[in-house]
Homo-oligomer: A and B are copies of this chain.
Amino acid sequence: MHDHEALLFELFAIFLAAKVIGEIFERLKLPAVLGEILAGVVIGPYVLGWIHPSDTLSSIAEIGAIFVLFHAGLEIGPQDLIQVGRKALLVAVAGIVVPFVFGFAYMHWRGDATTESVFVGAAMVATSVGITARVLGDMGVLSSRTAKIILGAAVFDDILGMLLLAVVDGLAQSAGVQWVKLGVLAAEAVVFALVMIFIGPQIIRRIRPGMARLSTHNAPLLVALTVCLGLSYAASQIGIAAIIGAFFAGMIFAECSPEWDLRPRVHAITEFLGPFFFFSIGSQLDVKLFNGEVLTVAAIVSLLAIVSKVVGCGLPVMSEGWNTVLSVGVGMMPRGEVALIVALVGLKSQIVSSSTYAIVVFMTAVTTVLAPPLLRYLFRKEVAAQARVALGSRH
């Protein structure tokens, strides 16, 4: 009984802090999501210490992340993903290779051990798509071509990143890299993605007429929620992030979303649960790790992290103009919780020193915090165009 009271306080405090700081940020013309992350930094364990992480809170944050991606997926049909597929794949591959090489080379040049350098490289690779999805969603530009390239690339990035994490994890357990296991993982992930893109929507189209025959109120929403939970679980079982499963679930239902009124309802759930995810990202940032000595290297690594993603992810879309190059690069920039997990794996197995860990944390903070306002700037034309359309349709 008492635990429930503590949880209610935490939920209330987190939601209030996230929304109040979010509102302040909106008024300063900064993205609300940044305010929610900052709320996590401030009232989280490392600054004020009002809220301490717990199993329950991290579970709710995870469910929140699932809904952020489910909601984003609802905007992007499988055709959209196929259309941008080749480009998205190139963006993902280059967006992994370039940051890894940059990170590894710099740390190695500084005189760090090879394995430690590999960890920093790996941490620079991961894209945290939740933040980008939220910012693009808040601006209402998820259906733009650039947004589709970014989200498509983020999906591939996650699959490739998962393979890299398996390599890194093998290094951490000093078991070496298990190539067979890696091959199986890769095959599973590719099959999962292909099934989702090509077969998933077919199945929904088949069951579509039957939906009206269900007796349950709001049957389509409930079926969609069930599929979302099921695919999140399936993805996590395969070894991809659960949120990628949720994204695919959204994509599968994208076509039927207008008919079944799914988006506003899923959005309401996301509005409630999402802030707990962004708060938890902030609450994982230990600002006390930053000190003079670390800061210089951290600043350089952060710069490399930014430049390498823009170069790597931008290269394959050069033909679409500078604005797209920058938008895609910045959209793929936030490292979020994924980099923190990589660094934590290294820290726990004592391959990564605590100062290197601090460097990764700093890089994560910088890329996570810079991406939302930059995205907002880069997408300003799309937003203005949307506003004109909305205004036009009202007259």
Show the binding face of A for B, using Cβ within 8 Å: 1, 3-5, 7-9, 11-12, 15-16, 19, 22-23, 26-27, 32, 55-56, 58-60, 62-63, 138, 214-219, 221-223, 225-226, 229-230, 232-233, 236-237, 242, 264-269, 271-272, 341
Contact = CB atoms under 8 A, between A and B. Distances in A.
A218 B71 CA distance: 16
A12 B269 contact: no
9 contacts: A5-B233, A5-B236, A12-B232, A12-B233, A19-B223, A27-B215, A32-B217, A225-B272, A266-B268
Contacts of A15: 225-226, 229
A126 to B, nearest CB: 14
A120 to B, nearest CB: 21
A226 B196 CA distance: 36
A19 B237 contact: no
Contacts of A269: 268-269, 272
Given A26-B216, A216-B26, A216-B32, A237 B5 contact: yes
Q: Which of A1, A58, A267, A272 has the most CB of B within 10 A?
A: A272
Contacts of A271: 218, 221-222, 225, 265
A55 B267 CA distance: 27
A19 B222 contact: yes
Nearest to A59: B56
A216 B56 contact: no
Q: Which of A4, A26, A242 has the most CB of B within 10 A?
A: A4
A8 B236 contact: yes
A376 to B, nearest CB: 13
Given A26-B215, A32-B216, A268-B269, A226 B19 contact: yes
Contact of A264 (B9, B233, B264): B264
A268 B16 CA distance: 21
A346 B23 CA distance: 48
Contacts of A222: 19, 271
B216 A23 contact: yes
Contact of A230 (B1, B16, B218, B341): B16
Contacts of A237: 5
A5 B62 CA distance: 10
A4 B221 contact: no
A19 B264 CA distance: 21
Contacts of A229: 8, 11-12, 15-16
Q: Which of A27, A58, A233, A269 has the most CB of B within 10 A?
A: A233
B59 A4 contact: yes
Contact of A215 (B23, B59, B230, B236): B23
A175 to B, nearest CB: 18
Contacts of A32: 216-217
